[in-house]
DNA sequence: CTAATAAATTATACCGGTACAATTATCAGA
DNA sequence: TCTGATAATTGTACCGGTATAATTTATTAG
């Protein structure tokens, strides 16, 4: 593990352990440097990471302070690896509706830089939180990258498998969101009424080398759709 | 202006000028260093900035590549200073419904670290894009920080005034989002029907020193609600 | 005691270096 | 032509240094 990540984790842990609140002043840079026996730039990098994560904010000439957000149960849109982490401690499950190899829709092909003749894994599932529907999810995976999938993998986390089992490295993602009204089929899956609001998130996930490997379209139950972002200056 | 920001701007301009597309390889680090007569770390910082902005991605051992997103007209959720920039070239306007000094609601007071006895500037406006309603916006400004506002300022950009006129420095923000159904009053302002979907974004803006100065609640017309995020690894 | 001024504190910008990891290009051997 | 080893390329981690900008604290003058 990288030193600056390790340090960032330990500083975050330091805050957690003590239950420090928004605005609480942390030890100064020099102290952290001594504590971790690292260089100034390494510590700066660790702190920058925490700043982007929304854990701290730094004020030149003044110090390093704790940053917190008050509301719980909101899904973070900046940590890109799904909502596993934000809804930790919440009872999540999922039901797989479909799983097969097929030709992509034109939309999916376009987003994955494929032709409609190429093969993709298609996954459709409903996710639940405390027995209530959270979202309906349709995913297309480029089969030449994600070479194998089965029901077991799909019931757990595909991302964990892609990183662990296949040894691929996830780089970045584009996420497009909009709001609309549910059609009859979607409403059925989510246990809502046709015409009710829906929040749709379309994501394209890329490997570190820039190849798109996953196009997903997630339709959220509007009752459970709570998101947050902690933006930096 | 900071050197690494200047460099970042110029690299972005380099990409724009040539109309480079996703995946196009840019000159290597060493070349940029020579071109700008700067140190490696300064260039690294500039490139890191562009990476976070979603303009490029870097692949170790390979090079620096252009990143683009295909869809236009989407509002970015990561650049925190309003949607002025994303909707550049779109015909925006706004109508001020209310503007006065008052006591905050309990919700606003809580988010601004005030009591319900403190004074706030309250602003309510409707924003339009191409003659269509974009959103209904209610803002509360801590009056001890934002000491003065008038109709003229509010019709343009309050943020520009806060930064320019008052010389304050905006640091970071928390943004909470959810989806629900419009009530009669909101529907009236947005020209929609009661019960139609709404996308609500509640934002708290902080100065660099961590003081919250603005709490805003924005209700978007669902037809115009298109957002995107370019997340990093 | 107050307000202006100076000094100390503290994070950030920028420099330039070594070592290393990931990728891509080259080359030898079959 | 392919495969596997080797070398070159290229971005990233980490070091430690000087200078500077913003803030806080201490000092001084009235």
The tens-digit pLDDT sequence of chain A (233 residues) is 999 999 999 999 999 999 999 999 999 999 999 999 999 999 999 999 999 999 999 999 999 999 998 888 898 887 655 444 454 556 678 899 999 999 999 999 999 999 999 999 999 999 998 889 999 999 999 999 999 999 999 988 888 898 888 889 999 999 999 999 999 999 999 999 999 999 999 999 999 999 999 999 999 999 999 999 988 75
B136 and B185, same domain (yes or no) = yes
Instruction: Give me the pLDDT at residue B80, please.
Output: 52
**H helices within chain A, ranges in order?**
3-18, 29-36, 40-53, 106-111, 151-155, 158-164, 184-190
Number of domains in chain B: 2
A112 and A83, same domain (yes or no) = yes
**Residue B88 belongs to some domain of the structure:** yes
Choosing from B33, B66, B99, the residue where a domain stops is B66
Instruction: Give me the pLDDT at residue A70, please.
Output: 81
Choosing from A66, A88, A105, the residue where a domain stops is A66
B158 and B132, same domain (yes or no) = yes
A89 and A149, same domain (yes or no) = yes
**Residue A196 belongs to some domain of the structure:** yes
Nucleic strand D near CB of residue B62 (< 7 Å): yes
Instruction: Give me the pLDDT at residue B84, please.
Output: 46
Tell me the angle at which helices B3-18 and B40-52 cross, rounded to the nearest 10 degrees.
60
Token representation of residue A159: 């991302």
Note the CA–C1' distance, A144 to D2, in angstroms.
22
Q: What is the CATH number of the domain that holds A57?
A: 1.10.10.10
CB contact under 8 A, B74 and A176: yes
B61 and B82, same domain (yes or no) = no
Judging by beta carbons within 10 Å of its beta carbon (0-12, 13-18, 19+), is residue A118 exposed, middle or buried?
A: middle
B113 and B148, same domain (yes or no) = yes
A93 and A162, same domain (yes or no) = yes
Q: Which nt has its C1' nearest the CA of B37?
A: C15
Instruction: Give A-chain residues touching B210 at CB under 8 angstroms.
Output: 22-23, 57, 59, 65, 67
**Residue B178 belongs to some domain of the structure:** yes
Choosing from A66, A85, A117, the residue where a domain stops is A66
* Sign (positive or negative) of CA dihedral B149, B153, B157, B160: negative
Question: Which chain B residue's Cα is nearest to A22?
Answer: B210
Instruction: Give me the pLDDT at residue B190, please.
Output: 97
**Residue B233 belongs to some domain of the structure:** no
Note the CA–C1' distance, A43 to C23, in angstroms.
28
Using a 7 Å cut-off to protein CB atoms, list the covered nucleotides of chain C. 8-18, 21-24
**H helices within chain B, ranges in order?**
3-18, 29-36, 40-52, 106-111, 151-155, 158-163, 184-190
Q: What is the CATH number of the domain that holds B196?
A: 3.40.1410.10
Instruction: Give me the pLDDT at residue A90, please.
Output: 64
Instruction: Give me the pLDDT at residue B24, please.
Output: 98
Note the CA–C1' distance, B62 to D6, in angstroms.
18
Count CA atoms closer than 13 A to B61's CA, side-chain side: 2
Structural domain boundaries, residue B45 = 3-66
Instruction: Give me the pLDDT at residue A84, please.
Output: 46
A103 and A182, same domain (yes or no) = yes
Low-confidence ranges of chain B (pLDDT < 50): 82-85, 87
Instruction: Find the angle CA(B62)-CA(B55)-CA(A44) to the nearest 5 degrees.
Output: 80
Instruction: Give me the pLDDT at residue A92, please.
Output: 78
């Amino acid at each position: 593990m990288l030193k600056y990540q390790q340090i960032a984790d330990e500083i975050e842990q330091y805050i957690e352990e003590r239950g420090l609140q928004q605005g609480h002043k942390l030890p100064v840079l020099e102290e952290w440097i001594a504590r971790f026996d690292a260089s100034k730039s390494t510590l700066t990098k660790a702190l920058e990471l925490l700043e982007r994560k929304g854990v701290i904010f730094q004020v030149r000439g003044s110090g390093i302070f704790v940053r917190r957000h008050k509301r719980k149960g909101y899904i973070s849109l900046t940590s890109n690896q799904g909502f596993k982490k934000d809804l930790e401690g919440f009872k999540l499950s999922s039901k797989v509706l479909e799983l097969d190899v097929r030709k992509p829709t034109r939309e999916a092909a376009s987003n994955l830089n494929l032709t409609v003749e190429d093969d993709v894994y298609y996954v459709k599932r409903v996710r639940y939180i405390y027995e209530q529907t959270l979202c309906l999810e349709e995913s297309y995976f480029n089969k030449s990258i994600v070479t194998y999938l089965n029901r077991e993998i799909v019931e757990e986390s595909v991302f964990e498998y892609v990183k662990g089992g296949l040894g691929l490295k996830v780089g970045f993602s584009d996420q497009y969101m909009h709001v609309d009204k549910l059609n009859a089929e979607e409403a059925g899956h989510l246990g809502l009424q046709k015409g009710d609001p829906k929040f749709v998130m379309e994501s394209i996930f890329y490997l570190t080398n820039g190849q798109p490997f996953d196009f997903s379209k997630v339709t959220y139950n509007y009752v459970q759709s709570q998101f947050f972002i902690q933006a930096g200056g």
